[in-house]
Structure 1
Amino acid sequence: MSKTLLKLIVNIITFCSIGYVIYIGYFVFFDKPVTSENITKLYSKMIYAYVTLVVILIMRAVLKKNRILKF
């Protein structure tokens, strides 16, 4: 896999995961869930969003360390 393709994939995944965290954050702050079932669903989505963001940031750090990503 070429370095430019890898950079493109990593950037797209990073922006999507940041966008997903912001999207879920909207529901937490502005569209407050009322029932406990909705609260549980929302917080499980938040956990998924933050885990995805952490994984992609760790992957970016590893790729930068191996000098594959240079920004």
Structure 2
Amino acid sequence: MQSLANNPARRSHVETQINFFTELARRSFDSARKLGELNLRLGRQRLEESINSGRQMLACMQPSAGSQH
């Protein structure tokens, strides 16, 4: 069996595969990191909206004013 050092074509092929999978892994981790950041941002926005809605409800003098049933 020939080693990689003795077969330049095989060595080149293996290096190309290693580079491909290294780049694929790097991009996958980068995408996962970006997705995590987006989820965090969305969660913070939703929390802020909920807090603001709660404050508006607490500040309301007559909660039923304007709605006539």
TM-score by length of 1: 0.48
Higher helix share: 1
Structure with the bigger RCO (C-alpha within 8 Å, sep 6+) is: 1
User: Larger Cα Rg: Structure 1 or Structure 2?
Assistant: 2
TM-score, L = length of structure 2: 0.49
